[in-house]
Amino acid sequence: MGERTVGGPVAAISPVQQMLASGTGALLTSLFVTPLDVVKIRLQAQQTPFHQGKCFLYCNGLMDHIYVCQNGTSCSSTWYKKPTHFSGTLDAFVKITRHEGLRTLWSGLPPTLVMAVPATIIYFTCYDQLRDSLQFGVGLQGSYVPLLAGALARLGAVTVISPLELIRTKMQSRKLSYSELRVCIRSAVVQGGLLSLWRGWGPTVLRDVPFSGLYWFNYELVKAQLCEQRRTSQASFSISFTAGAVSGAMAAVLTLPFDVVKTRRQIQLGEMDSLGVSVKKTSSTLTIMREIWTELGYKGLFAGFMPRVIKVAPACAVMISSYEFGKAFFQKVNLDRQRLVT
């Protein structure tokens, strides 16, 4: 599909070029956001020490991942358990860099990139392809097109990645070899059916699909308004960055209750996996929401409001501006090639 921006058609870029642009954006986002989450986890570990089988969420700015604290001496030597006292966020950045080296701020990143980069490539490439198909193939017009394309693209990406994330969690929590993992998966399928590989899919979809729809709806709207204000036909890096931050923050706030439910569900499932407990039936999203409401009231469903916005807004801004920059680069390359041919 041809790439188009505000003001009409521009040089077409191929799906492979879209994939390269989104993959580069995913790497840059992970490199930017990971240090923030590493510091957050180290501060959490200082306040509430992690014990054997305890799970916590790690985010590289693109996806949430379960980490399980293992038993034995290895638990105290891992990146999230180094015995250093921090008085705050800035102090943590300084001490980790000084005493453990700069590379420690990106601890835990390589394994998560194996999941995050392919998921992001699928998601962003599918969004562009779906949006263009709906607009220029089917002939749909209006601001709801990005919302629909974003929701469908995210649904596809989550469905593809969900079994792989479950497998990754099992390998990490139980320290399984590939041959043992094959037996474990076969046993899970026999006991719970093929759909057991998509356990936890529901809460993920309920958070990520509405988030994606709202994000792209607001992004395209804000981007178009900023382009109009600055009287430009194509979004600059700063326009994409601003639109990404604003739309990311708005989507994060509106989908926060689903994020709270998904976090609780992920941690519960991860800890059950680490203890080798088989899960025949898990609580529904509505049941978990009721439990949170009963325990903590409506405030419980909006717990972590500021940390989520602070993490999501810059991650969305870096990802989308890098992606748009990459697409603009390939558009220029393709345009130059066309001129040389003619």
| Residue among 258, 178, 274 nearest 212 (CA) | 258
Distance from C-alpha of 260 to C-alpha of 62, rounded to nearest angstrom: 17
Does the pTM surpass 0.75? The reply is yes
Mean pLDDT across the chain, nearest whole number?
79
DSSP letter for each residue of 12-72 = ---HHHHHHHHHHHHHHHHHHHHHHHHHHHHHHHHHS---TT-EEEEE-SS-EEEEE--SS
pLDDT of residue 34: 82
**Residue 132 near residue 143, CB atoms below 8 Å:** no
- Report the distance separating Cα 194 and Cα 67, nearest Å: 25
Q: 159 to each of 119, 128, 163, 225, 299, how far by Cα in Å?
A: 10, 18, 8, 33, 30
Reply yes or no on whether the pLDDT at 74 is more than 50: no
3-state secondary structure of 329: helix
* 311 pLDDT higher than 70: yes
Higher pLDDT, 157 or 108: 157
Average pLDDT over residues 86-93: 81
Polymer length of the chain: 342
- In this predicted model, which residue has the larger pLDDT, 327 or 57? 327
With beta carbons less than 8 A apart as the criterion, state whether 148 and 134 touch. Answer: yes
Per the DSSP assignment, residues forming a β-bridge with 5 are 8
pLDDT digits 0-9 by tens, 148-189: 999 999 999 989 888 877 776 666 555 566 676 677 777 777
Residues in Cβ contact with 103 at an 8 Å cutoff, skipping those fewer than 6 apart: none
Q: How far apart are CA 128 and CA 205, in angstroms?
A: 20
Higher local confidence (pLDDT), 267 or 333: 333
Residue 3 backbone zone (phi > 0: left; psi -120 to 50: alpha; other: beta): beta
What is the mean predicted confidence (pLDDT) over 4-29?
76
All structural domains of the chain, each given as residue ranges with its CATH number in brackets, are 15-33+109-274+291-330 (1.50.40.10)
DSSP readout, 63-113? -EEEEE--SSTHHHHSGGG-----SSHHHHHHHIIIII-GGGGGTTHHHHH
The whole-number average pLDDT for the span 221-231 is 94
% of the chain exceeding 90 in pLDDT: 30
Q: Find the mean pLDDT for residues 199-207.
A: 80
pLDDT reported for residue 10: 45
